Amino acid sequence: DYYSLGLEEEGAVGHYAGLMECSSYQVAVQVWKHADAKGTAVVVHGYYDHVGLYGSLIRFCLQQGWNVVAFDLPGHGLSSGEQAAIDSFQEYDEVFSQVLQQAQAHLPGPLYAFGQSTGGAILINYLLKRHFTAEQNPFAAVSLMAPLVRPKGWASGRIIHTFARFFVRRVKRKFKQNSGNPEFGEFLLRDPLQPHHLNVRWVSALKVWLPYVESLPPSSVMVNIIQGDADQTVDWQHNMKVLAEKFPNQRLKILPGGQHHLVNESPEQRQRIYQQLAEWLTD
């Protein structure tokens, strides 16, 4: 109720939540079942986030007639693990893979994948690591929203991290406006599930992951990408170049004025985002 995730008005006839053993974590998973499901969407959230912030995307997926599976990453939301920390991005891959296997076993296809920011990085890693061809792709569509490859200011940030990691475990988080919706920024300040620190272990894991993923060969899988040109969280110009190389079969929408947290952008921007996704997904 606090996060307005009932969504019965969008055709959800059942909303289920529970814990799932994934690797060494207890992962909080939620499922919305549609009355007449035409497939299943899997939603992967970003760093500092949790499923409670993704009501607009879950609502969009239900409107398409799909079931929805969403889960809190380790160290986020209601899942176990040190808050906002991870030792390796491959741990995210293991958790995502196990949740996906359960979705494939118990819910109808086709499958549609959505990843915001770090969630996008997890989907990128999943596809490139397994060298999927377009024919092997387990998803009917993959949609990346402000996907993380390299964060903004990474050149200086990685140098600072090289020394800081010996002295500090975490750094106090600065809550910056990351969408054109001021109400969302205000909500984050009172959200009880928000981390208030950047964990140095997460930065260490990112530092290892970046050269790994950039060294992987390209994929013929088609991906949809929506990226705001006012994003101050990721180095989006660099990231778009990397993704153009890794996924030459892509559809890209640059959203004028779009900031980072696209699923919580202003109502006008969200309408543009979901209209574009709907066009791609029904093409």
**Is 186 a residue whose pLDDT tops 70?**
yes
Could you give the CA distance from residue 42 to residue 141 in angstroms, rounded to a whole number? Answer: 11
Query: What Å distances lie between residue 223 and 16, 110, 227, 282, CA to CA?
Result: 29, 16, 13, 14
Could you give the CA distance from residue 85 to residue 82 in angstroms, rounded to a whole number? Answer: 6
Could you give the CA distance from residue 215 to residue 96 in angstroms, rounded to a whole number? Answer: 22
Reference 75, options 217, 195, 239; nearest CA is 195
Residue with tokens 């986020």: 76
Total-model pTM:
0.94
Q: Please state which CATH number belongs to domain 8-281.
A: 3.40.50.1820
Q: Provide the 8-state DSSP code for 139.
A: -
Residue 276 burial (C-beta neighbours within 10 Å; 0-12, 13-18, 19+): middle
pLDDT-derived band at 36 (thresholds 50, 70, 90) equals confident
Residue with tokens 């992967």: 44
pLDDT of residue 158: 54
For residue range 115-135, what is the model confidence (pLDDT) as tens digits?
999 999 999 999 999 999 999
Residue type at position 114: F
For residue range 94-113, what is the model confidence (pLDDT) as tens digits?
999 999 999 999 999 999 99
Could you give the CA distance from residue 121 to residue 214 in angstroms, rounded to a whole number? Answer: 11
Write down the domain spans for the chain.
8-281
Q: Above pLDDT 70, what percent of the chain? A: 95
pLDDT of residue 156: 60
**Is 235 a residue whose pLDDT tops 50?**
yes
